[in-house]
Amino acid sequence: FKKGFADFGHTISAVVNSILLTAVYLIGVGLTALFAKLFKRHFLNMKLSEKRKSYWVKHE
């Protein structure tokens, strides 16, 4: 009974964690990503450019 109860506890805790993380992802990450899209802001620099002679960036 104790083992079953502990397993059940773990399952419940994993489900709650997933729900919380999903909420954080949708609200936190989602809204930030949405605003970034509105203001054309990028978090990763993924563009290729034929015009650029170099992709090196100075170490800050």
Which amino acid is it at 60?
E
On the CB side of 15, how many CA atoms lie within 13 Å of its CA?
6
- Comparison of 6 and 24: residue with beta carbon closer to other proteins: 24
- Comparison of 1 and 43: residue with beta carbon closer to other proteins: 43
- What is the nearest approach in angstroms of other proteins to the Cβ of residue 20? 10
On the CB side of 45, how many CA atoms lie within 13 Å of its CA?
5
Within positions 25 to 54, which residues make up the interface with other proteins, using CB under 8 A?
Answer: 25, 29-30, 32-33, 36, 42-48, 52-54
Among 22, 39, 40, 51, binds other proteins (CB under 8 A): 22
The radius of gyration of the chain from alpha carbons, rounded to an integer in Å, stands at 22
